[in-house]
Amino acid sequence: MLRDSFGRVATDLRVSLTDKCNLRCTYCMPPEGLDWLPNPQLLTADEIVRLVSIGVERLGVTEVRYTGGEPLLRRELADVVARTTALTPRPQVSLTTNGIGLARLAGPLAEAGLDRVNISLDTLDPGTFKRLAHRDRHADVIAGLAAADEAGLRPVKVNAVLMRGVNDHEAVPLLRWCLDQGYELRFIEQMPLDAQHGWSREGMVTADEILGMLSASFDLTADDLEERGSAPAERFLVNGGPARVGVIGSVTRPFCGSCDRVRLTADGQVRNCLFATEESDLKTPMRAGASDDELAGRWVAAVARKRAGHGIDDPSFLQP
């Protein structure tokens, strides 16, 4: 098992398929983009499946989430999903995406066995979308959401980050729209993950503020805490249910104590936390001929060193 020194067991594996993205969202990267990893540094599809197989068949991983960058940019995505869902025991397999290209790929991904998707949508206004993402692709995201729903990739979850003075006035309209469409909306506090290091706590729209905005227009009832388990979102029934809205207070309401996630980067590094400043290399020993047992042992040792929390509130916190 992937157990750390605090007794937490990692069963949820997040796998980055690429560092590339076709948007330039201001809370993630500068408008001019970044220097992408050279292709030889990226894990191949076979290497990804091999490491995921080790996680599922030997180390107790029960859920695999493919992410990026933007995972839809990875041409082998449907094949990787199909090979993942064919593992025994079969893990739950999901995808976090910006939705661009999903209108074309939702059907093939569903056929490959993908269970569900999380799609980022921060605004209902195409002009605001263009200012936030530096790309005029709002209609593509809306089409991707509809295609995911039609393909049965449910529940279709929408991730929204509110930014002060930019789109924070859209909390209520976003929720109303998602309720009308049958999507489950989750607001996420802006985290210090932007490559240009422009994040500030003062500028962040907090979970309390989000709930205050929503409560002015909707009756919110906290969902069963036991049902939440290690899920990052605090979920609330909207107007008595059954529809729900989630709020992920990663900064002001951290859930590190129940974290069950571990991450595998696009270049084959084990990363215990989004905010970790250290990684453990699996790619190099794998390419040097390490056995599955050896790789599993390295992975177990890496997770054992996981820290108690992300430490954003600590004066010594360093943005990765």
Residue 300, domain CATH: 3.20.20.70
Give the mean pLDDT of 219-239.
Answer: 81
Q: What is the Cα gyration radius of the chain?
A: 19
- Please report the DSSP string for 32-59 in residue order: T---PPPGGGSPPHHHHHHHHHHHHHHS
Read off the pLDDT of residues 9-36 as tens digits, 9 standing for 90 and up: 999 999 999 999 998 888 887 777 777 8
Into how many domains does the chain fold? Answer: 1
**Average pLDDT over the chain, rounded to whole?**
92
Q: Give the best-scoring range by mean pLDDT among 19-28, 154-163, 199-208.
A: 154-163
Q: Is residue 319 part of a domain?
A: no
Helix-, strand-, coil-residue percentages of the chain, each rounded to 5: 35, 20, 50
- Which pLDDT score is estimated for 67? 97
Dist CA 195 CA 27 (whole Å): 8
Q: Each residue of 230-258: pLDDT tens digit?
A: 678 899 999 999 999 999 988 888 888 89
| Position 123 in a domain | yes
Is the Cβ–Cβ distance between 117 and 145 less than 8 Å? no
What pLDDT does 318 receive? 65
Is 142:122 a contact under the CB 8 Å cutoff? no
In a domain, residue 117? The reply is: yes
User: How many C-beta neighbours within 10 Å does residue 102 have?
Assistant: 25
Q: d(Cα 19, Cα 94) in Å, to the nearest integer?
A: 18
Three-class SS state of 113: coil
Q: Is the pLDDT of residue 100 over 70?
A: yes
Q: Do 156 and 183 meet the contact criterion of CB atoms below 8 Å apart?
A: yes
Q: Tell me the CA distances in angstroms from 227 to 159, 235, 238, one per residue in order.
A: 20, 10, 17
Strand partners for 269: 281
Asked, for residue 61, whether it belongs to a domain, the answer is yes
Average pLDDT on 179-203 reads 81
Global pTM value: 0.92
Residue 310 lies in a domain: no
Q: Which helix (H) or strand (E) holds 287?
A: helix 283-287
pLDDT of residue 84: 98
pLDDT at 254: 82
Pull the structure tokens for residue 245: 């809205």
- Mean pLDDT, rounded, for 57-81: 97
Residue 1 counted as domain residue: no
Q: Which domain holds residue 67?
A: 12-305
The pLDDT confidence band at residue 141, using thresholds 50, 70 and 90, is: very high
Residue 42 lies in a domain: yes
292 touches 58 (CB < 8 A): yes
CA-wise closest residue to 252 among 282, 215, 212: 212
* Integer angstrom CA distances of residue 212 from 93, 200, 218, 254: 34, 21, 10, 19
pLDDT at 315 over 60: no
Domain assignment present for 234: yes
Count of other CB atoms within 10 angstroms of residue 253: 14
- Strands 157-160 vs 12-16: parallel, antiparallel or unpaired: unpaired
Strand order in the sheet with 12-16: 220-222, 234-238, 244-248, 184-188, 157-160, 116-120, 92-97, 63-67, 12-16, 261-264, 269-271, 280-281
